[in-house]
Chain A
Amino acid sequence: MFGLDKKDFNLFLVVAAMALLAPFILNPFPTDSALAQFNAGYPDLMQRFVIFGIFAIGFNILFGLTGYLSFGHAAFLGVGSYSAVWVFKLLGMNVLPAIALSVVVAGLFALLIGFVSLRRSGIYFSILTLAFAQMSFNLAYSVLTPITNGETGLQLTLNDPRILGSSATADGSIPVTNLLPGLEIRSAYDLVIGPWSFTFNVGYYLCALFLLLAFYLSVRIFRSPFGMMLRAVKSNQQRMHYTGLNTRPYTLAAFVISGMYAGLAGGLMASMDPLAGAERMQWTASGEVVLMTILGGAGTLIGPVLGAGFIKYFENIFSKINDNVLHGWFAFMPDGLEDFIVTIIHPFIGKGWHLTLGILFMLVVIFLPGGLVEGGQRIAKMFRKKSEGTDTHVDAKHPAE
């Protein structure tokens, strides 16, 4: 269906259901319950899940298929954000032109960087992309300040021309981003059912639709002759050359496509909150998307989305647990024991969430080299074995799920 075979189509349906029902799925706990802090169903965070999901899906087209590990992909995300904010400043507050321009500009930028970096492979390629990204970061931070507004970051002001909109609203404030005239990105509807509350936000659903489009395209690419060639690049470049294939345009096309995905993520980020700063281009941001992809399962279809969700959940939820919260949880214990346990857990929560994430990341890489997807497959296999009592046949037609 829609050019997907049955298995892929089902996977797409699962992703679509998860994305569209996210406000419910991520808010399983009643608003006033003690567990409510594990709820992730607020627009801001849901948008981030989805935007980083798009970023990681694109990154996976390069890294997962060709094996070329870019350490500079945040540069494309940053360029996308700057482009979008400039559209808001010059043109108007509709997000669609802004998003379109971020994709195009990031694609052109990726063409330039990819053209140079792809002259090398392996570690040298990674270093070249890292160098380019750091260069872009420094340019944005301190050199190209008329375009990027340096340290402060690019923001909207009341003096922006906005030729298709207005510089200021009737009450004298800066206008907000919209999808259609009158349909603001930030507008939301709260559905209250008993003690539960679910928020449906225009911005989130816009991001979710782009995620579905991004995911759909990535499935098509994975299953296409082009995708097969990219996997062949990873497997044996020599053989490709002696088979009459020029690998350079293949890797460059993958690089540009993944750069455009990053640009889309950057454009969406700026559409949700119209500002852009150089820190979006920093190497830590580039490293994060690498972690997401590997954690979820590089080269798999759904892995990057899972990895992005996992890391963003940790970043936002675990970092908010502090000692007071812990004391609340363990209050039933005798005082001494309570303090002891809180002291032990303390380094792993709040600001220490990186530590927890780092440990989890190591465990996954060591025990599940295929990432969270491999974990899921193993569990599924265990169940299938129990129910069928036979070994499952591995279909090489679907090396990546």
Chain B
Amino acid sequence: MGILEVKDVNKRFGGLQALGNVNLSVEENTCHAIIGPNGAGKSTLLNCLIGKLIPDTGSVMFDGQSVLGRTPYQICQMGISRVFQTPEIFGDLSVLENMMIPIFAKRDGAFELNALSNVFGQRDILEQAEKMLEEMNMADKRHMHAASMSRGDKRRLEIGMCLSQQPRLLLLDEPTAGMARADTNNTIDLLKQIKDERDITIAIIEHDMHVVFSLSDRITVLAQGTPLVEDTPDKIKGHPKVREAYLGETA
């Protein structure tokens, strides 16, 4: 039994079968990559895992419990964090505040009426946030308006926000898209390090094969909403069907 078990998930948008009988099992403390051409249904699959979409049929189990029927915030509180394809951050807030919010959510739960203490007086939260910014190489940007940063920086911030919650399952939707090469390499290093140090399971969608092959233990290839093959990176590299369907131009 993997920590994440997706069984026979179907999702239609009108006449479009975005997901057709998807089965996926992700082992605890591994990194599982999901690759596939544009429009294959990769983001849709992640949406079904975090309560953004509800599958038409099928089941999604996280650590033995169903996520279906739970609201997004409850699913997050179960230990699933997600980085989106287009960065979802708090644009009007400072970078430091962005980093503090998930730490508050982790410590205080879904709601806490903490109306009289000072945000920056919360030493433990502030320290954790500063440390995370340090790890993300963003400490110098802490007082910047988050919306004014580059797309790559926004994404690094979002990754940091998710990591700061110490999720058990981290879902990454093209985390390095729009990043400079150096930042991409930093991100790979950081994710590798976190994978080694902590108990964390990662599911990553990525078009950059360098990132995929440096991080993942297993790879699922999705095409037109259905898993084509699932195997280890080495096998996937040589798989004729995959080369034809997807890796043709990149491998």
Q: Is the CB of A235 within 8 A of B90?
A: yes
- Chain A 314-345, CB within 8 Å of chain B: the 1/0 string? 00000000000000000000000000000000
Q: Is the CB of B115 within 8 A of A220?
A: yes
How far, in angstroms, from A250 to B81 measured CA to CA in the complex?
Answer: 21
Contacts of B109 in A (CB 8 A): 244
How far, in angstroms, from A223 to B115 measured CA to CA in the complex?
Answer: 8
Which residue in chain B gives the minimum CB-CB distance to A220? Answer: B116
Contacts of A227 in B (CB 8 A): 115, 119
How far, in angstroms, from A396 to B71 measured CA to CA in the complex?
Answer: 32
Contacts of A224 in B (CB 8 A): 114-119
Query: CB within 8 Å of A: which residues of B?
Result: 50, 52, 71-73, 76-77, 81-82, 84, 88-97, 100-102, 104-106, 108-120, 122, 143-145, 161, 165
How far, in angstroms, from A397 to B119 measured CA to CA in the complex?
Answer: 10
**Whole-angstrom distance between the Cβ of B162 and the nearest chain A Cβ:** 8
Which residue in chain A gives the minimum CB-CB distance to B84? Answer: A242
21 residue pairs of the A-B complex, CB under 8 angstroms, read A3-B117, A225-B112, A226-B114, A228-B100, A228-B119, A231-B97, A234-B92, A235-B90, A239-B90, A240-B101, A241-B72, A242-B88, A243-B101, A243-B102, A244-B73, A244-B165, A246-B111, A249-B113, A250-B111, A397-B120, A397-B143
How far, in angstroms, from A244 to B105 measured CA to CA in the complex?
Answer: 6
Contacts of B77 in A (CB 8 A): 244
A interface size (C-beta, 8 A):
34
**Whole-angstrom distance between the Cβ of B203 and the nearest chain A Cβ:** 15
Q: Is the CB of B113 within 8 A of A244?
A: no
Given contacts A242-B72, A243-B105, contact A396 B145 (CB under 8 A): yes
Given contacts A225-B119, A239-B89, contact A245 B105 (CB under 8 A): yes
How far, in angstroms, from A17 to B71 measured CA to CA in the complex?
Answer: 49
Complex partner residue of B89 from A231, A234, A236, A394, CB under 8 angstroms: A236
Q: Is the CB of B118 within 8 A of A3?
A: yes
Contacts of A234 in B (CB 8 A): 92
How far, in angstroms, from A242 to B70 measured CA to CA in the complex?
Answer: 12
Given contacts A3-B118, A220-B115, contact A245 B73 (CB under 8 A): yes
Complex partner residue of A242 from B76, B122, B144, CB under 8 angstroms: B76
How far, in angstroms, from A234 to B72 measured CA to CA in the complex?
Answer: 18
- Is A275 part of the contact surface with B, judged by Cβ < 8 Å? no
Complex partner residue of B94 from A221, A236, A245, A396, CB under 8 angstroms: A396
How far, in angstroms, from A180 to B110 measured CA to CA in the complex?
Answer: 45
Which residue in chain B gives the minimum CB-CB distance to A396? Answer: B94
Contacts of A173-194 to chain B: CB distance below 8 A: none
**Whole-angstrom distance between the Cβ of B150 and the nearest chain A Cβ:** 17
- Is A377 part of the contact surface with B, judged by Cβ < 8 Å? no
Contacts of B89 in A (CB 8 A): 236, 239
**Whole-angstrom distance between the Cβ of B74 and the nearest chain A Cβ:** 8
Q: Is the CB of A239 within 8 A of B88?
A: yes
Contacts of A253 in B (CB 8 A): 113, 115
**Whole-angstrom distance between the Cβ of A397 and the nearest chain B Cβ:** 6
Q: Is the CB of A231 within 8 A of B76?
A: no
Q: Is the CB of B119 within 8 A of A223?
A: yes
Given contacts A231-B93, A399-B94, contact A246 B73 (CB under 8 A): yes
Q: Is the CB of B110 within 8 A of A231?
A: no
**Whole-angstrom distance between the Cβ of A162 and the nearest chain B Cβ:** 37
Which residue in chain A gives the minimum CB-CB distance to B94? Answer: A396
Q: Is the CB of A243 within 8 A of B165?
A: yes
Most A C-beta atoms less than 10 A away, residue of B73, B120, B145, B161: B73
How far, in angstroms, from A224 to B48 measured CA to CA in the complex?
Answer: 34
Given contacts A224-B119, A245-B105, A253-B113, contact A396 B143 (CB under 8 A): yes
How far, in angstroms, from A227 to B97 measured CA to CA in the complex?
Answer: 11
Complex partner residue of A243 from B97, B112, B161, CB under 8 angstroms: B161
Contacts of A226 in B (CB 8 A): 112-115
How far, in angstroms, from A223 to B114 measured CA to CA in the complex?
Answer: 10
How far, in angstroms, from A317 to B175 measured CA to CA in the complex?
Answer: 60
Q: Is the CB of A246 within 8 A of B50?
A: no
Contacts of A223 in B (CB 8 A): 118-119
- Is A232 part of the contact surface with B, judged by Cβ < 8 Å? yes
**Whole-angstrom distance between the Cβ of A80 and the nearest chain B Cβ:** 21
Complex partner residue of A244 from B52, B100, B102, CB under 8 angstroms: B102
Complex partner residue of A241 from B71, B102, B112, CB under 8 angstroms: B71
Which residue in chain B gives the minimum CB-CB distance to A61? Answer: B115
Q: Is the CB of A232 within 8 A of B90?
A: yes
19 new A-B contacts, CB < 8 A, other than A236-B89, A246-B110, A396-B144, are: A3-B116, A223-B119, A224-B117, A225-B104, A225-B119, A226-B112, A227-B115, A231-B93, A235-B90, A239-B90, A240-B101, A241-B71, A244-B77, A244-B109, A245-B111, A246-B71, A395-B143, A396-B95, A399-B145
